[in-house]
Structure 1
Amino acid sequence: MKSLNKVLLGSATLLAAITLAACGKSSSDSTTSDSKTVSGTVKLWVDTTKVPYYKTIVKDFNKEYPDVKVTVTQSPNGSANAKTDVGKDPSKAADVFEVANDQLGSMANQGYINPLSPAATKAVKKNNVAVASEAVTWDGKMYGYPTSQQAQTLYYNKAKLSADDVKTWAGLTAKGVVATDFTNAYNFYPVFLSAGTYLYGKNGETLKGTDANTAAGVAAMTWFAQQKSNKGVMQTSNALNQLKSGNAAATLDGPWDSANIKKILGDDFAVAPYPTINVGGKDVQMQAFLGVGCFAVNSNTATKNQKAAATLAQYVTNKKSQLVVYKHSGAIPVDKAAQASSTVASDPVAKAVITMSQEGYSTIMPKMTQMATFWNLSAPLINGAYTGSIPAAQYQAKLDTFVSAISKAN
């Protein structure tokens, strides 16, 4: 999914040192030491564009931990593909790597990563917003150090649309044109969630917990179909070009594109949480998927380097590090103190994303291994309803097939 490839989206206060247990899924949880006498050699993988400023973060790290040698390099295929890259040969992968939270379940099940220690878990919960802690938890244990959050918001041209116009989908599309893409399930599957269905249950970890094949799911399919004749909705694979040309006045996008959209709209730039939509005759909040970027420690890291690797993972996700990353990339922090900083608190994009991270506005991206099947099947389902290639008479049957396919054990 191309949107997920962008995705990548807390921090913990620096604990003096952390010791990971022996390699593999069967090893014990990591533990924490009060000593700052940490040494070792660690490789850190981050997305290509982030290498320069993570090198700066590592320089600060080395002021406190001079005996840890850290090499910062780009992930082979980006954090969105960490599971695949690490899985090729865990023994040759980086000791600490950036990864999207939706991959943690599969990586934990395959033994690529170990859960955090009780002390590290406590620190993450204390210092980060609750949704970040929840996002990096799988089967009751925390497997990542959260660093940022990403949820799509509504960007719009305030010369063409008012703040009141964009509060509802009906108002938005009556006054202007929203450019978007119904072939992208990351954008539109959450309409099913807005309608009242669940994806892998309330906790996102229940194999048989998807109920899109209900009356609520049919209502979501009907909403997609209605947008085809909505003159205020433009189907496009390049919404930013439509904004730039003036053909569109709004789009649904994430914080990763905020800098580009600011350049396009200039003084007319504005951003807001998603509007409400009418599904099945009810006005409900339009939801988005919530992704949380994090760092995990390779369980195959050599024993002598485990403490150094875990210490680094916690440092690069602390408040100071998150603010450095925010300054350079716009990635929204999940550390409570970082969010309260004047820079973040006054940022309209950050405020919109933080609003979207609240309950009722978004759903945390599930960490189920079956999500690969979900992405393959959900996009044609949504686009089929939008284009009309799936007629209303087939909605129920198509939804039954979809739910059955994504509910099978791998």
Structure 2
Amino acid sequence: MKRLIAATLVAAIGVLLLTGCGVSNKSHDNTQAGTTENSSDKAKNKEVKMHVWCSKNDVDITTQMIESFKEANKGTDFNIIIEESEDSDARDNILSNVHNGADVFPIADDQITSMVAGGALYEIEDVDAVKKADDESAVEAATIDGKLYGYPLTADNGYFMYYNKNYFSDSDVATLDGMLDIAGANGKYLTMDWSSGWYLYSFFGNTGLDFGVNDDGVTNHCNWNSVITDIKGVDIAQAMLDIAAKPGFKNCVQDDFIAGVQDGSIIAGVSGCWNAAKIKELWGDDYGAVKLPTYTCAGQQIQMSSFKGYKYMAVNAYTKYPEWANKLAQWFTNEDNQKLRFEMKNAGPANKAAAADDAVKKVPAIMAVMDQAQYGKLQRVGNSYWDAATEFGEKMAAGNPDNTDLQEIMDNFVAGITQSVAK
């Protein structure tokens, strides 16, 4: 449920209107896709009323960008209403009631496929301009069957290694073994959340094994239990058990990671850009961030992989004002506003010019997630993966306490990943 906030912006009179109704009670009803009001879309003397969703934390910056959009388009009577809605809820909220959905809203790349299948997203027409301005991988992640469905907004949805420079040199952070040895020798910890399949994927992604969602968009294929590949499933399981046995390793969730940084017990950990400001505050000049290290598996050094992702501004296929809605989405994601988002939110830009700015290059977390992206994969997985990954990861972190045969563990893991979600 989204809460309508006090942010109805009316360009003609410049007054901030206050309202308090929820989205389920909204009276706005977008016209059917393909029957939009293009003539009024271009009119200079008719009110253009649009709804924009954003998370609670982004209300201020969204309001600022809307004001600058109005200033750049004087002569048009805008009534742009901001509503609070968490980005992760966009898909469910739109698909459950697309006609009452926002005209413009942020989405993550893993939401796009199902929203396109549901006919909810407006196809972007000026593809060449987006390709010229934005990160190639970000554009590709929002492209389905050659059609683009989102304006790239950020390129920092991923994870990497934070480390305390007081303990680690630049060369120390190249290998996980080396980092764990240093942490253990100092009575400290390096942490990672093995209860989450999001992080767990890092051990499998660059091994040559196969995993992904099937064409049905629901079930998965996976050969992580392979016995015939160069790197076998049991090799990875054994590597994880070896890591878990090291005194310098600790399996913990993100809140515990920050708590450990705060009390001094944790000197390195796998996390994302959302913790950058807090890490900087706690470690100060000793704050470092780098791509994930290599880890030892079957006598080899394997570069740790990751899930990577992007965020976009999308346009509702049923908007009454497709021209203005697209202009607004473009405005939210242009070079200047991606720089502004970086300055205010420390968000990694998807715009190439903004990402090349010297100020961005000085932020270790953003540079680390961008560097790690070359070893990452877009998160395209069926739901059965997550519970199976949690069970496997927690068993590895506990050191396989029942001493279960590793091949049996991997077979059960893959069976869980590939099972049908239908009961």
TM-score by length of 2: 0.81
Cα offsets for 1:252-301 (capped at 9, x unmatched): 11111100111111222111111111223221211121110111111232
Q: CA deviation at 1:335?
A: 0.8
Aligned to 1:195: 207
Query: Unmatched 5+ residue regions in structure 2?
Result: 1-29, 184-188
Among 375, 381, 401, the alignment partner of 2:392 is 381
Q: Distance in 1 between matches of 2:239 and 2:357?
A: 40
Q: Distance in 2 between matches of 1:373 and 1:208?
A: 8
SS of the residue corresponding to residue 200 of structure 1 reads: strand
Q: Distance in 1 between matches of 2:69 and 2:401?
A: 55
Among 412, 415, 418, the alignment partner of 1:398 is 412
Aligned to 2:278: 260
The residue identity in structure 2 corresponding to 1:375 is: W
Aligned to 1:365: 379
Among 52, 56, 60, the alignment partner of 1:48 is 56
The structure whose RCO (Cα within 8 Å, separation 6+) is larger is: 1
Among 113, 120, 129, the alignment partner of 1:112 is 120
The residue identity in structure 1 corresponding to 2:83 is: T
Among 59, 79, 83, the alignment partner of 1:73 is 83
Equivalent pairs counted in the alignment come to 373
Q: CA deviation at 1:167?
A: 0.8
Q: How does 1:196-235 map to 2 (within 5 A)?
A: 196-200=208-212, 209-215=221-227, 216-235=232-251
Q: Distance in 2 between matches of 1:83 and 1:70?
A: 21
SS of the residue corresponding to residue 154 of structure 1 reads: strand
* CA separation of 1:153 and 1:396: change in aligned 2, threshold 3 A: closer
In 1, are the aligned partners of 2:87 and 2:106 still within 8 Å (CA)?
yes
Q: How does 1:231-242 map to 2 (within 5 A)?
A: 231-237=247-253, 238-242=256-260
Q: Distance in 1 between matches of 2:313 and 2:305?
A: 26
TM-score by length of 1: 0.83
In 1, are the aligned partners of 2:305 and 2:376 still within 8 Å (CA)?
yes
The residue identity in structure 1 corresponding to 2:272 is: G
Q: Distance in 2 between matches of 1:142 and 1:222?
A: 42
* CA separation of 1:232 and 1:56: change in aligned 2, threshold 3 A: same
Question: What RMSD, in angstroms, separates the aligned Cα atoms of the two structures?
Answer: 2.9
The residue identity in structure 2 corresponding to 1:135 is: A
SS of the residue corresponding to residue 363 of structure 1 reads: strand
SS of the residue corresponding to residue 350 of structure 2 reads: coil
* CA separation of 1:210 and 1:51: change in aligned 2, threshold 3 A: same
Cα offsets for 1:365-408 (capped at 9, x unmatched): 22x6x2x33223322222223322673141232133134226x7
Aligned to 1:136: 142
In 2, are the aligned partners of 1:195 and 1:217 still within 8 Å (CA)?
no
Identity %: 24
Query: Unmatched 5+ residue regions in structure 1?
Result: 1-20
Structure ID, larger Rg: 2
Q: Distance in 1 between matches of 2:174 and 2:219?
A: 35
The residue identity in structure 2 corresponding to 1:99 is: I
In 2, are the aligned partners of 1:189 and 1:382 still within 8 Å (CA)?
no
* CA separation of 1:409 and 1:39: change in aligned 2, threshold 3 A: farther
Aligned to 1:282: 300
SS of the residue corresponding to residue 146 of structure 1 reads: strand
In 2, are the aligned partners of 1:256 and 1:329 still within 8 Å (CA)?
no
In 2, are the aligned partners of 1:39 and 1:65 still within 8 Å (CA)?
no
Q: How does 1:144-223 map to 2 (within 5 A)?
A: 144-149=150-155, 150-176=157-183, 177-200=189-212, 209-215=221-227, 216-223=232-239
Q: Distance in 2 between matches of 1:232 and 1:56?
A: 46
Q: Distance in 2 between matches of 1:247 and 1:204?
A: 45
Cα offsets for 1:154-209 (capped at 9, x unmatched): 11111112211111001100001202221122112221112222332799989665
Q: Distance in 2 between matches of 1:334 and 1:409?
A: 37
Q: Distance in 2 between matches of 1:210 and 1:28?
A: 44
SS of the residue corresponding to residue 249 of structure 1 reads: strand
In 2, are the aligned partners of 1:195 and 1:279 still within 8 Å (CA)?
no
Aligned to 1:250: 268
